[in-house]
Amino acid sequence: MSKMVATICLLCCLTLATPSLAGYADLQASTSGVSGPTVTVSVNNPTTNSVTARVRVVVKLDDDTYYILTSAAFTVTSGATTSVSITAPQSVAEIEDNPEPISAVQ
């Protein structure tokens, strides 16, 4: 009987965890601006639920080094778009990769 209870508990945990882990993948992110060391990313949530996530973007700095910028966690409500600003240690020369929504869990 204890194996049955353990299996049911595991299935319940997986069922509860799956929507919160998968939600960030539905977000749509794009770079909306660069000013000095600050990159602004526009994040749209086309889903019917609020989603908490972070955004990661790879940039090339003005000294030709590459840097991965990661935002703090933020929440986007259903059908909304929000802007997220991320600051590099020095001026950004160019965006190397499209912004990518990632899990809010660090």
Q: 45-86 pLDDT, tens per residue?
A: 998 899 999 999 999 999 999 999 999 999 999 999 999 999
* Stated pTM of the model: 0.76
pLDDT at 14 over 60: no
DSSP code, position 48: S
Predicted confidence band at 24 (pLDDT cuts at 50, 70, 90)?
Answer: confident
Average pLDDT, the chain: 86
Which band of pLDDT confidence, cut at 50, 70 and 90, is reported for residue 20? very low
* Torsion over CA: 89, 93, 96, 100 (sign): positive
**Contact at 8 Å (CB) between 72 and 54?**
yes
pLDDT, residue 104, reads 87
Task: Say whether pLDDT at 9 is over 70.
Answer: no
Q: Is 63 left (phi over 0), alpha (psi -120 to 50) or beta?
A: alpha
Confidence of residue 18 (pLDDT cuts 50, 70, 90): very low
Please state the domain extents for the chain.
2-103
For the domain spanning 2-103, the CATH number is 2.60.40
The DSSP letter of residue 106 is -
DSSP assignment, residue 33? E
